[in-house]
Structure 1
Amino acid sequence: MAWQISGSYMETCNCEFLCPCIVTNLQGKPTEGDCKVAIGMHIDKGSKDGVALDGVNFIAVMQSNGPMGAGNMTVGLIVDSGASDEQAQAVTAIASGQAGGPMAALAPLIGKFAGVERAKVAFERDGETWTVKAGKSVDQKCTGVLNMEGKPIALDSVSHPVSSRIALAKAVDSHMHVFGIDWDDTSGTRNAHYSAFAWSG
């Protein structure tokens, strides 16, 4: 059965701004040698197999030991504890690429699926500042890079699984401690992105 979800996303990673993945189609070496990223997602509207997914939040946490395009990535999901078991199963199928859609393109690059954890996932926006938290596992905030008119600077036609148009941002805070992936930074110099998204499969 066809499925669709749409909403908002934000991410922070451990690369210095600007992350080389975006401009090298995942072939660039991460600035720290490896890549650690947490992708927070908020579904405004969606459904799969008759299961409504409106309002569900989740986070995909990933790590690659070199360029993401080289594969062998570790990926785990955190699904909001407020979601039902049926909603969590639907989100897992979508976010892992099992159900097709944009994330299916990343599936061949995953060497280890670290599983699914449940936690309260908070997803908030204040102007061009975005915050995503999940218990003690993820706590991240980013703010958009603005042009002289105060509007977000964005990249178009990028090969990114979430959206082909993503805003440039810097991570204000970035903390990940889950699935064996650990990262802490408050320097304000690390990479981030955000955008609206619409997926289907």
Structure 2
Amino acid sequence: MALDGDIGTVDWTMKGELILNCNCTVFCPCVVSLGQHLPTEGHCQTWGGIRIDSGHYGDVDLSGLNVGLMIEIPERMARGNWKVALFIDDRASDDAYDAIVTIMSGKARGTTGLFSVLVSELLGHERQPITYENEGKTRRISVGKRIKGEIIPVAGKDPENDLVITNSQYWMGADITVATANQGRLRAFGRVWDFEGRSAEICQIDWHGPK
């Protein structure tokens, strides 16, 4: 990318929505403990998806693209040693592809800068056809043959309003919708996961680079 020499100083933004589905049997403890509490199974296996409604990296437009994630954490989130893989929308230009890798690796600093400390191994990144759909409260994602997911909010007392953890200090965003997975399959990088019925999250993201 033409902006390689400026990594860590380039202005960037990424606004949209993120969904996650992990192996926790109840809602992920990391949200409220900020990664200090063990996942319910003692380790974390997570797939996720990002819908970028608007965004840029320098003068590279990221709007309208989708991203898939695979994250594996051996114990507490805050202790690091994460293994991560990225799946990037096959509609992305070469510059947009490189920009998303730079952002999600933490090299671009800003909101995702903690990845540069917590991630010990980037298993790989590849292009995949990705669809991210909203139907009412339901979110569906398809990442080639790698990820098939369907996420729904957990019902609250008032069916019109989602059950939301608000005003948190969680890195993804302050307000996290408590959800579960109707479908949560991943087959990638030697992993075969199925987290149907397990913990899930929905978060509106407003990420940015260094200021």
TM-score range normalised by the length of the shorter chain: over 0.9
Is 1:195 equivalent to 2:203 in the alignment? yes
Distance in 1 between residues matched to 2:169 and 2:87, nearest whole Å: 24
- Counterpart of 2:111, as a letter, is P
Deviations 1:104-128 (A, max 9, x none): 1232111111120111011111111
- Counterpart of 2:193 (choices 178, 183, 187) is 183
**TM value normalised by structure 2:** 0.89
Distance in 2 between residues matched to 1:59 and 1:158, nearest whole Å: 24
Shift of 1:180: 3.1
Q: How many residues align?
A: 199
Distance in 2 between residues matched to 1:159 and 1:105, nearest whole Å: 14
Is 1:156 equivalent to 2:166 in the alignment? yes
- Counterpart of 2:14, as a letter, is I
Is 1:30 equivalent to 2:32 in the alignment? no
Shift of 1:142: 1.0
The runs of at least 4 aligned residues of structure 1 exceeding 4 Å deviation read none
Q: What does residue 151 of structure 2 align with?
A: 142
Q: Which range moved further: 135-144 or 17-26?
A: 17-26
Structure in which a larger fraction of residues adopt strand? 1
Equivalent residues in 2 for 1:25-174 (5 A)?
25-150=34-159, 151-174=161-184
Superposed CA RMSD in Å reads 1.4
Q: What does residue 4 of structure 2 align with?
A: none
- Counting aligned pairs with the same residue, the percent is 30
Distance in 1 between residues matched to 2:143 and 2:78, nearest whole Å: 27
Instruction: Please tell me whether the aligned partners of residues 104 and 115 of structure 2 are also in contact (alpha carbons under 8 angstroms).
Output: no
Unaligned runs of 5+ in 2: 1-9
Shift of 1:91: 0.9
